[in-house]
Amino acid sequence: PGVTLDREDDAMNDLMDTLGGHPLAMRVVLPRLANRSPEALQETVEQNLDDLDSVGNEALDQLYSTLELATEVLDDGLRELLIPLYLHERFVDVSMIEEMAEEAGSTLSRDRIDQGLQTLVDVGLLQNARGDVYSIHPVLTGYLRSREHVQKLANRAEEWTRAFVRLMAAYANHFAQKTLHEQHRFTDYHESNVVQAIRIARQNEWMERERYLVKLLATSALKRRLHDVAERRYERWLENHRRLENESGVAGAYHQLGIVAQEQRKFDEAENW
């Protein structure tokens, strides 16, 4: 992006070798030549690499070490944004981050959230997908999840996590009642986030939240006639209601499992359910 390189400079060539020709690494690191020397950047990347908890892949370790520089573009007040980005998978919705921030007790305003996300767009880690929705570069997700300290960037990490799961559960419960076309408005972007929220809910035994999340995935699979997937998800829903000792929920799960069998013309199995 408008960077001119001196290819006769040995320090510059050493830096380029370290970046390994990766486009994202170059996009993140090279603009910093405006106020840092190649030697200084090389030293920073190597120090980041030394500090990194290795993921067992040399090329990926080197790429992650450059992302420390990418997150430096966020000022101290905006680095908190890395927490909800850590929690999301594939896509993130600005409006939903705003809701989560309020629930988590964060001082981040909509203007500041927009500012932080645009900064990450500028370095190639986010891309606008539609309206308020941004796609997350998978290498950013991998980097954030390889660095456990990112969760501790703010003392509200736990509050952000609770807000993320609660909000995903609320949206899941809302869209589970909708037609397939209406469901797609949410699941096209957030199905991976629902799966991520289920994983967190199970780890923390937030069963009330989990049942709404699982229900959306089950109803979505049934409406798409993915019967094997629907059956597995309704079985998980059944297990969840049993643990909650929710008799009406158990009965509802039996009924839905019967519907799955009926649609496959497995009438004896349907009748048993």
What tokens does 154 get?
């703010």
Phi, psi of 54 (to 5 degrees): -60, 140
Residue 218 in this model has a pLDDT that exceeds 70 = yes
What is the arithmetic mean of pLDDT over 111-119? 91
Please tell me the distance from the alpha carbon of residue 185 to that of residue 190, in angstroms, as a whole number: 9
Residue with the bigger pLDDT between 16 and 99: it is: 99
128: left (phi over 0), alpha (psi -120 to 50) or beta: beta
Please tell me the distance from the alpha carbon of residue 242 to that of residue 237, in angstroms, as a whole number: 9
pLDDT of residue 97: 95
75: left (phi over 0), alpha (psi -120 to 50) or beta: beta
**How many beta carbons lie within 10 A of that of residue 177, not counting itself?**
11
pLDDT in tens, 50-71: 554 444 555 555 666 666 666 6
pLDDT of residue 34: 72
